[in-house]
Amino acid sequence: MADDAVREQVRVRYAGAAETAAAGSHAEEDCCGPASRFGSRLYELPEISGLPEQAVLASLGCGNPTAVAELHEGERVLDLGSGGGIDVLLSARRVGPTGFVYGVDMTEEMLALARANAARAGATNVEFRRGLIEDLPLDDASVDVVISNCVINLSTDKAAVLAEMFRVLVPGGRVGVSDVVAEDRLTPAERAERGSHVGCIAGALSRGEYLAGLAAAGFVDAEVRFTHAVADGMHGAIIRATKPVSGAVDRR
């Protein structure tokens, strides 16, 4: 399938998920698979307490990147594929009034839902922008942390995503991502046998491919740690990396 067709298939699937959540039902039931492997149940209940119900219902991730990234007061954060806004709102709590959180998503329905959720939550230190994660609508060196929750696997040009992450981070900035990652033993064809692209399975990188891609983009101190199984040989994973403080080269 051509890249544009895959992107449109993803957009349609997640537009439908946004409408499902807005209507008061769990979006993961229509989207990703077993609730034990994807969605709001991967967060601790005290953490999501007080969030708008629609933000929780729209959660489609495979982890908790706000915890992975160890966010601090005053930091500027970017969430790739921000969906209904759950990770943006959680990040906004962590960085406080002196920090700021951007969410980027390509789906108008998700953006509308996220903005409504931010208004319900009274979050004033957030902004949602429409855009592609392969071509981010942010300036160079404009954020301290990039997070993402089970979205990079959906991209058809992951090298561009990693390069864009590197570009928008300040020197010394870091990546804290949750994603689906394959064991190195699985070929792309074997990954496709285990699930669809829009279901967060077929497009997943292997652990070795992820590490190589991060290095090619210029990141250092990269790690990919499996957290829980989502299919045979496929795992929810934590991905961390850092942009060097000096001597960094933009590899776009």
pLDDT, residue 39, reads 56
Residue 114 — pLDDT band, cuts 50, 70, 90?
very high
Cβ(230)–Cβ(33) below 8 Å: yes
Segment holding 127, helix H or strand E:
strand 126-130
The structure's pTM equals 0.89
- Work out the average pLDDT over 81-97: 94
- How many CB atoms neighbour CB 37 within 10 A? 20
Helix (H, G, I), strand (E, B) or coil at 189: helix
pLDDT, residue 4, reads 80
4-55 confidence digits (pLDDT tens): 887 787 778 777 777 777 776 665 544 455 444 555 666 777 677 888 888 8
Sketch out the chain's domains with CATH numbers: 3-242 (3.40.50.150)
Q: What percent of the chain has pLDDT over 70?
A: 85
pLDDT, residue 36, reads 42
Over the chain, what is the mean pLDDT?
A: 86
Burial of 23 (0-12, 13-18, 19+ CB in 10 A): exposed
Tell me which of 59-63, 69-73, 106-110, 205-209 is least confident. Answer: 59-63
Tell me how far apart the alpha carbons of residues 152 and 81 are, in angstroms, rounded to a whole number.
8
197-222 confidence digits (pLDDT tens): 666 666 899 999 999 999 999 999 99
